[in-house]
């Protein structure tokens, strides 16, 4: 049976945050590409009269099963995720919107060894600083983790999943979606043309996300969902999501899910402290752009 490479691109949006392009690569079949490559190998032990190799021996060597990689194109730059000899490496060069903004890579994995799942999370730092409005010098990012040929990877860029899956022995490239269609991009993103009246509604916050980026405000909304405790950090997975609450202006089943606001909260928050449908007022910092918004709760 010839091997087949199946690629599935899924677009998700949760809590008003663009989850982006979710790419899953699966390799199936009873023989591998390197096996097929070697089965077609030529006898290169002899040379031509002029001392050179036969033409069929000048092609690149067969790939080994220990070298696997994927290139991930993103709005901030291209990342390469590579596995070789028991180590997974993520590297690339990402743009910086200002000199004050930087990139930080966090790596987490399951507790088994080598880990069956590894997550690379690339986060921006310094966005809250007041900074000269010129582009910063692009930043090189590199992170490594122990891994195996069967490790499942998740790569996030500013909490947006840009790749998930097991690496193939063939190098592939994940292309981003049309930027005009990602997450909140099709929805209004207005400038602020009047004084703010707090608390803001969820809709107002979402529709002024870029103008409010980096600002501390109060928002008021109905509690539509919770990601807390073991739901955020299952004990059998070894990886945790950021504890979150989800606020909305209406609980109508037909509401637009893009207008649910994700509020990042601390680990001390518990489900028993809240009740779905309650009206909450939260003070926090806005992190928004044309495609997404996240609101981080501030504590006294």
Q: What is the pLDDT of residue 128?
A: 58
Give the integer Cα–Cα distance in Å for 152 and 150. Answer: 6
- Model pTM? 0.49
pLDDT by residue for the chain (300 residues), tens digit each? 444 333 332 333 333 333 333 333 333 333 444 444 444 444 455 556 666 655 555 444 444 445 788 888 888 888 999 998 889 999 999 887 677 778 999 999 888 888 899 999 998 887 655 555 556 688 899 999 999 988 999 999 888 888 888 887 765 666 555 666 677 888 999 999 999 999 999 999 999 999 999 999 999 999 999 989 888 877 766 567 788 999 999 999 899 988 999 999 998 999 999 999 999 999 999 988 888 888 999 998
Strands (E), 29-101: 67-74, 77-84, 87-96
Check if the beta carbon of residue 216 is closer than 8 Å to that of residue 283. yes
Pick the CATH number of 200-297 from 2.40.50.140, 1.25.50.10, 3.40.50.720, 3.40.50.450: 2.40.50.140
Own/partner pairs, 247-256, CB within 8 angstroms, 24+ separation? 247/202, 247/219, 247/221, 247/222, 247/223, 247/280, 247/282, 248/202, 248/221, 248/222, 248/224, 249/201, 249/202, 249/203, 249/221, 249/222, 250/222, 251/222, 251/224, 251/277
Long-range contacts, 197-200 (Cβ 8 Å, 24+): 199/281
Q: For residues 10 and 35, what is the distance between their CA atoms, to the nearest angstrom?
A: 31
Are 171 and 70 spatial neighbours (Cβ–Cβ below 8 Å)? yes
Altogether, the residues listed in the chain come to a count of 300
The β-bridge relationship of strands 244-248 and 216-227 is antiparallel
Q: List, as own/partner pairs, every contact residues 198-201 make where C-beta atoms lie below 8 angstroms and the sequence separation is at least 24, other chains included.
A: 199/281, 201/249
Task: Please state the separation of Cα 250 from the chain's center in Å.
Answer: 28
* 55 DSSP 8-state letter: G
Query: Which residue, 185, 202, 193, is CA-closest to 289?
Result: 185
Contacts 24+ apart (CB under 8 A), 207-211: 209/184, 209/286, 209/288, 209/289, 209/290, 209/292, 209/293, 210/288, 210/289, 210/290
The DSSP element (H or E) to which 245 belongs, if any, is strand 244-248
- Rounded-to-integer distance, Cα 119 and Cα 122, Å: 10
What is the per-residue pLDDT for 286? Answer: 93
Handedness of CA 204, 205, 211, 212 (dihedral sign): positive
Domain positions in the chain are: 64-181, 200-297
pLDDT of amino acid 235:
75
């Amino acid at each position: 049976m010839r091997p087949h490479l199946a690629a599935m691109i899924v677009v998700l949006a949760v809590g008003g945050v663009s989850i982006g392009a979710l790419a899953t690569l699966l390799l199936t079949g009873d023989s591998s590409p390197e096996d097929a490559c070697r089965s077609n190998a030529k006898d290169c032990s002899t040379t031509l009269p002029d001392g050179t190799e036969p033409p069929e021996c000048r092609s690149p060597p067969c790939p080994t099963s220990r070298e696997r990689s994927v290139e991930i194109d993103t709005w901030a730059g291209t990342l390469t995720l590579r596995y070789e000899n028991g180590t997974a490496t993520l590297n690339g060069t990402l743009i910086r919107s200002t000199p004050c903004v930087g990139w930080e890579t966090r790596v987490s994995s399951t507790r088994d060894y080598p880990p069956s799942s590894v997550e690379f999370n690339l986060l921006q730092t310094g966005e809250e600083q007041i900074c000269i409005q010129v582009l910063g010098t692009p930043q090189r990012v590199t992170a490594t983790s122990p891994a195996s040929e069967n490790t499942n990877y998740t790569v996030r860029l500013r909490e947006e999943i840009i790749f998930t899956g097991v690496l193939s022995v063939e190098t592939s490239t994940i292309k981003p979606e049309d930027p005009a269609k990602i997450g909140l991009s099709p929805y209004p993103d207005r400038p602020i043309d009047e004084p703010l009246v707090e608390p803001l509604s969820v809709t107002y916050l979402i529709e002024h996300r870029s103008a409010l980026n980096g600002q501390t405000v109060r928002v008021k909304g109905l509690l539509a969902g919770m990601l807390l405790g073991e739901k955020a950090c299952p004990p059998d997975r070894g990886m945790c999501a950021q504890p979150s609450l989800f606020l909305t202006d209406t609980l109508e089943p037909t509401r637009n899910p893009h207008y649910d606001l994700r509020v990042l909260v601390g680990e001390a928050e518990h489900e028993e402290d809240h009740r779905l449908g309650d009206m909450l007022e939260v003070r926090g910092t806005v992190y928004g752009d044309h495609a997404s918004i996240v609101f981080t709760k501030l504590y006294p």
